[in-house]
Chain A
Amino acid sequence: MKKITKVLSVLLLIAMIVSMTACSATKVGNEQKQSSETKAENKEPVVVKFPTFYIGSNSGAEWMKNRIETFKEKYGDTIDLQVEEVPGDQAYTDKIKVLLSTDQLPDVVYTGGYNLLDDALVRNAVVDLTPYLEADPEWKALFPEEDLSFNTRDGKVYAIPETSSQIGYFYNKELFEKAGITSPAKTWDELFMQAEALKQAGIVPFAMDTADSGWVTTLWLNSMIGTANEEGNKWMNTMYPVDYNTLEVIEAVGKIQKMFMNYTTKDAVGGKYENAANHFFNGEVAMIANGPWMEADFHDTTKAPEGFASKVGVAMYPNDGMFVSPVIGMFVASKDKEHADAAVEWVKWLTNEESQLVAFETSGRTPVTPTLAIPEDVREKLPLSSQLLEMSAKAKYKYNYHQALWYPNTLDAVSAYYPMLATGKMTPEEFCNALSEEAKKNQ
């Protein structure tokens, strides 16, 4: 290599590294001496270890940042909150599992709904929160009976949620108008007729995907099952089902197959959430099933065109169905009372009214307290999420979703088998059979 090129490359390399690692430094002189003196007088603050994945581009990152900063301001002297950033939801769950299996759980665990509580309970790793609830009735009053009992085992409350789930579906009002549709479908038959009408108008009816358990696809599946009848609804509220070969499920899978084959985009099979979302933002697709956290994206001009937000409406599923269900909350796994007490302070901070309000404001997270007062300006910023809050009371069929209820390997199987279902290589019965087989492996 010529000498000049070599020198230039080295300079370039140094420039790159310096620009990435640029830092600022300020001398720490007297302040340090003073603080260490005062520290010697008071007790050492109690350490609360808290890993979390609500960082980076996660929609709850702003909420979490707010909570951490305000907590440290208030409790900084007595409680040392050590936050560990674990980027990626899956990475978080994997790490907690490794820690659990070596009995080294951190003080507070919050998976955002994924159920690790029962596995942790088997190892006696979880602190009973009932006495703490009893001692603070104001705090306890925030949580509806339903949400607490979802997190109760053997009469003891082990986890506290700060959110509950409410999911409907979003539709593009402009595209609906083009196809002559006046309002969201009231029955499943009507929905499929609307799909036909949209197709005739050259619009793709549904945004679908198959990766990561086919989130937007499976929400439709869950709704079909949950609104079919009593049995279907019960099934769609059961934790860890093993038998997927029920009438309601098979029928619903058949409808999904129809949707894949006729009413969605060419890259739905194998598609990820972002592909489905992008089609919706582009105005190519009329309907997408997803939760209130998506509302912020409608205003994001790197994702959706200017003014897109005003074209979007939110609806309940046919048969007045809606995802309304409690969520597995955060639990405490500290090994002694001192740490547990401190950890509970942090849990309280994450679940109090202020926290729920911040969560709703910054990411549309549904508050667990139904009577939470939401100021007018926030309602105006998030009209769709606010509408959802009111709709949930009117829902006739309430049910939960697959990621909260089904075994993880079954969720993976959903992704693996959807492509075969979508191309007709598998019948609905075979699909349900495959899911049941996978689920049974967990026993």
Chain B
Amino acid sequence: MLKGKKRSFWIVMFLAPSLVLFFMFYGIPLGMVFSTSFFNWKLSTPKMSFAGFSNYMQLLSDSSYRTAFRNTLIWIAIQSTVHVSIGTLVALTLAKHPKGWKFVRTSYMIPNIISSAAFAMIFLNIFNAEYGVVNNFIRLLGFEDFNLNWYFDSRSAFFTVTLSWVIYAPVIMLLILAEISSIDQSILEAAKVDGASSFQTDIYIVLPLLRNAIGSSVVVAGTSMLKEFEHIYLTTKGGPGTTTLNLPLYLYNTAMKVNNYSYANAVGVTIIIIGVIFVISINRLFRVGHSDI
């Protein structure tokens, strides 16, 4: 590999564009989020006043925040496990090129091409208590009085919202598929020769080789729960009550409805902290970033 001055030169040259992009669009906003969380900054106060840790103190006693915090953690857990598993399963199944695999791969992407607004509208209609497809289907099966209001009954709201993002894992599928394609075919052939079934090959050979991609997928899936709020906003708005409230939605409400920007940024800082802890732990767990080869 490269050594010495040439090495440093290329390292800098290749890192520079991304670094510039990063600092311009993230560095400054990041700095603002951190610093303004220690001030008092609302739409209604043109001048910011120093507030120390009072925003953070307020978070501790804010019951909506606590509920949002708990819901977010639950969703991170579910997404990192169930969602990633579904995506990986699809990838593993498609990697063997069963009949029509390209069709399945393309179809699975389609829900992601639909914008959130359209998607939420479709789901609201599908789960409508009176004329929605789901309830009509269940009534056909014999439960004639079935009337569950999926999105708005406190028993099912959380589940319905979770469903809308857990089952659609095309991004994970793509990440895993891309990695599978870089696995040396000869290893798989050797396993076949040794008599391993395709199931055994998958579990004992392919999965370990996918360590990096799975680790990245877990990171991507988990952290997406720190950003996801559009679907909730367009359907339940965090309700009934606070059953489906999560941190990003809470932040959005605080910034855009209550117009308390500094408090919102304090929430933002806690989101970032949770995220950093999560990313570091997952990276350690999966030893991401180190090559096996």
Contacts and interface: CB of A to CB of B under 8 A. Distances in A.
A–B contact at 8 Å CB threshold (below): yes
A270 B241 contact: no
Contact of B256 (A94, A407, A416): A94
A301 B236 CA distance: 31
A425 B154 contact: yes
Interface of A: 94, 97, 100-101, 118-119, 122-124, 210-211, 265-267, 269-270, 272, 275, 407-409, 412, 415-420, 423, 425-426, 434, 441-442
Contacts of A418: 239
Contacts of B256: 94, 97
Contacts of A412: 237-238, 253, 257
Contact of A416 (B124, B149, B240, B261): B240
A124 B46 CA distance: 9
A407 B239 CA distance: 18
B257 A267 contact: no
A60 to B, nearest CB: 22
Interface in B39-57: 43-46
Interface stretch (B90-98, B127-135, B162-170, B216-224): B127-135
B153 A419 contact: yes
Contact of A100 (B43, B45, B236): B43
Indicate the size class of the contact surface on chain B.
20 to 34
A90 to B, nearest CB: 9
B69 interface: no
Contacts of B131: 267
Nearest to B131: A267
Contact of B129 (A97, A267, A272, A425): A267
Given A267-B129, A270-B151, A423-B153, A119 B238 contact: no
B-side interface mostly? loop
Contacts of B257: 407-409, 412
A420 B155 CA distance: 11
Contacts of A97: 43, 256, 259
28 contacts: A97-B259, A101-B261, A119-B259, A122-B46, A210-B152, A266-B130, A266-B147, A267-B129, A269-B129, A269-B149, A270-B128, A270-B149, A408-B257, A409-B257, A412-B253, A412-B257, A415-B239, A416-B237, A417-B240, A417-B241, A418-B239, A419-B152, A419-B153, A419-B154, A419-B240, A420-B239, A420-B240, A425-B240
Given A265-B130, A416-B237, A420-B240, A270 B253 contact: no
A417 B239 contact: yes
A420 B236 CA distance: 12
A408 B238 CA distance: 15
Contact of A409 (B45, B124, B258): B258
B246 to A, nearest CB: 13
Given A269-B149, A270-B129, A423-B154, A119 B43 contact: yes
Q: Considering the complex of A and B, which 10 residue pairs feature the smallest CB-CB distances, nearest first? A: A416-B239, A270-B152, A419-B240, A267-B130, A409-B257, A419-B152, A408-B257, A267-B129, A420-B240, A123-B46
B58 to A, nearest CB: 10
Nearest to B117: A88
Contacts of B239: 415-420
Nearest to B242: A416
B227 to A, nearest CB: 18
Contacts of A101: 43, 261
B44 A122 contact: yes
A261 B194 CA distance: 67
Contacts of B236: 270, 416
Contact of A415 (B128, B154, B237, B260): B237
